[in-house]
Chain A
Amino acid sequence: MIGQVQKFGKSHSFYDIYERKGEGEQSTHYCPGCGHGTIQKLIAQAIDDLKIQDRTIFLSPVGCSVFAYYYYDTGNIQCSHGRAPAVATGVKRTVKDAIVISYQGDGDLAGIGMTEIVHAANRGEPITVFFINNAIYGMTGGQMAPTTPLGRKTLTTPFGRDRDRDGMPMGMAELMQAIAAPVFIERCSVATPKELLKTRKAVHKALQNQIDGKGFSFVEILSPCPTNWGMTPVDARTWMDQQMTLLYPLGNFRDAVVQQEEQPAEHEVPLWLDDEALVELLKGASDVPVMRMEPLSETQRVKIAGFGGQGVLSAGELVATCGMSEGLAVSWLPSYGPEMRGGSANVSVTLSMDEVGSPLVDHPNVLLVMNGPSLDHFEDQVVEHALVLVNSSIVTRKVRRTDVRTIYIPATELAQEAGLVSAANVVMVTAYLLISKAIPLDTLKRCIPLVLRKKAFLEKNLSLVERTMVYLQENGMV
């Protein structure tokens, strides 16, 4: 009989359900197109194939992959930043039969934990190290890592990485190659299907070496960070394939030494910032127009929440900038770190006539919810008579509280109609400001270019504000 059988599917080494948060129990916290997910699947598959699930101890680093312990149904330890090879040494020496996997990013391994990895390699500890190189500090929002290419603009290198000021990008596979003890060193990539298949092989080999007690195995895997690179997931892979591999050549290093070519910096950048350059860099703040102060009827304690990537933080920045522009005292406090990736990100904003004592907003009187989990999380925290705005395009349920004022707006749909799929945040902020009358519409329009700096979208954003106003009027909400 002919039938369909599963040929490729979820690995047994993953938990069936990820109990990280209430939402998305089957999906990871990674951003769309993140390389971590792909690589972790390859490792899970190898653990399945080699039948070592019961012996494996997976070491999570600090970084976006810190939550690996929510996914792997193996032994798990979460290590201090960069110290995974030291922890691996201790575990392996204590439990000799364990298969110890140290999974580290480039900020973790090549930056903060450089000492640990070099000495663990030099001692030839019989462990397996997977080094995920995406050339940036991802979790903290895109700062320069030791592996960042020359010229690449990051949060901490706003004019691009400079060779004289910031040093050259560091090739960790090459560095490993300079150490005698490791038995296996390979650099691979997840950019293309062909490279993915090679990576699968290298992952398998590095684990087999540990099963056979051969020694220290090091696999560097080039991986995309579309979010912090500012590229689409597909473009990020193309860039890796065409550019990143020039800097970090792929191949097996124990058999053939690949000489890294020095890349001279050809662009002209200032080595140090003088006062004028600093002023130029920080100019955004001074551009805020200071307006006549309208009395605020009530201190606005605002919580904005949604998925990472929905523009939650910039929505907060927009509200705060509007407040500043009106001469109000404001505070803006984002939620931070990997919690934002894929899960509920949130930001607290206070607008006040007096100085703001604490930027924390535990009991908001304004709540803007962009997705379901955020409503679940914050609904009970708002005060009586609070204004609750719900993005009804994505939130399917109704607000249960009856002592609050609830407004439903199909924000994602309105944004999509305007050709800006990610601008639901603009709709939500506009609706909030119009309904609450906390900030005049003109101020909002003037502040939009200061916060949403992509000039190409300015007109669309402004017309989306108008569209939102019309929608609110048509539905009798203002």
Chain B
Amino acid sequence: MNHVRVRDDECKGCAVCVSVCPKGCLEMSGKLNTMGYEYVQFIRGVACTACGLCFLSCPEPSALTVLAEQEVE
């Protein structure tokens, strides 16, 4: 399964990633982080294609990391 890792405390809750994801894999969590922002969360078991649009559009350098499933040694 592909996966988007969210660092809760770096997310500022702008929701741009939620709006650009073509598969609807991200949603607002309803929870606040230490900065007081409502952070996003990855919806498990959905059709993430690891396209990276969420990462590209996110204004934070490391709030999101996209992990792709592939053959590894």
What is the interface of chain A, defined by CB distance below 8 A to chain B? 1-11, 14, 23-24, 26-28, 30-38, 40-42, 44, 71, 190, 192-193, 196-197, 200, 226, 232-234, 237, 307, 310, 342, 370-372, 393-394, 396, 412, 421, 424
Q: Are A26 and B73 in contact (CB under 8 A)?
A: no
Residues of chain A within 8 A (CB-CB) of B38 are: 421
The answer for the CA separation of A372 and B33 in the assembled complex, in Å, is 12
The answer for the CA separation of A378 and B16 in the assembled complex, in Å, is 34
The answer for the CA separation of A8 and B58 in the assembled complex, in Å, is 11
Residues of chain B within 8 A (CB-CB) of A412 are: 32, 36
Q: Which of A2, A41, A370, A394 contacts B70 (CB 8 A)?
A: A2
Q: Are B65 and A10 in contact (CB under 8 A)?
A: yes
Q: For the complex formed, measure the closest distance between the CB of A253 and the CB atoms of chain B, giving whole angstroms.
A: 24
Beyond known contacts A4-B3, A192-B20: 11 more, CB 8 A cutoff: A4-B69, A5-B68, A7-B66, A7-B67, A9-B65, A33-B12, A35-B59, A42-B56, A193-B53, A372-B34, A412-B32
Residues of chain B within 8 A (CB-CB) of A35 are: 59
Bits for B29-73, please: 1 = Cβ < 8 Å to A, else 0: 000101111100000000000101101111111111111111111
What is the interface of chain B, defined by CB distance below 8 A to chain A? 1-3, 7, 9-10, 12-16, 18-20, 32, 34-38, 50, 52-53, 55-73
The answer for the CA separation of A2 and B73 in the assembled complex, in Å, is 8
Residues of chain B within 8 A (CB-CB) of A200 are: 56
Q: For the complex formed, measure the closest distance between the CB of A317 and the CB atoms of chain B, giving whole angstroms.
A: 20
Q: For the complex formed, measure the closest distance between the CB of A45 and the CB atoms of chain B, giving whole angstroms.
A: 9
B13, closest chain A residue (CB): A32
Q: For the complex formed, measure the closest distance between the CB of B35 and the CB atoms of chain A, giving whole angstroms.
A: 6
Task: Give 21 A-B contacts (CB < 8 Å), ordered by A residue.
Answer: A2-B70, A4-B67, A5-B67, A6-B66, A7-B68, A10-B62, A14-B61, A23-B35, A31-B12, A32-B14, A37-B59, A38-B58, A193-B20, A193-B57, A226-B14, A233-B16, A237-B19, A307-B36, A342-B12, A421-B38, A424-B36
Residues of chain B within 8 A (CB-CB) of A30 are: 59
Contact flag A26-B35 (CB < 8 Å), given A7-B50, A233-B15: no
The answer for the CA separation of A190 and B19 in the assembled complex, in Å, is 13
What 7 pairs across the A-B complex have the smallest Cβ distances? A37-B59, A33-B14, A32-B12, A233-B14, A10-B62, A8-B55, A3-B72
The answer for the CA separation of A23 and B10 in the assembled complex, in Å, is 11
The answer for the CA separation of A4 and B2 in the assembled complex, in Å, is 7
Q: Are B14 and A24 in contact (CB under 8 A)?
A: no
The answer for the CA separation of A11 and B35 in the assembled complex, in Å, is 23
B11, closest chain A residue (CB): A27
B12, closest chain A residue (CB): A32
The answer for the CA separation of A28 and B60 in the assembled complex, in Å, is 7
A424, closest chain B residue (CB): B36
Contact flag A2-B35 (CB < 8 Å), given A9-B66, A37-B59: no
Q: Which of A11, A31, A33, A196 contacts B61 (CB 8 A)?
A: A11
Q: Which of B19, B20, B66, B72 contacts A1 (CB 8 A)?
A: B72
The answer for the CA separation of A59 and B38 in the assembled complex, in Å, is 33
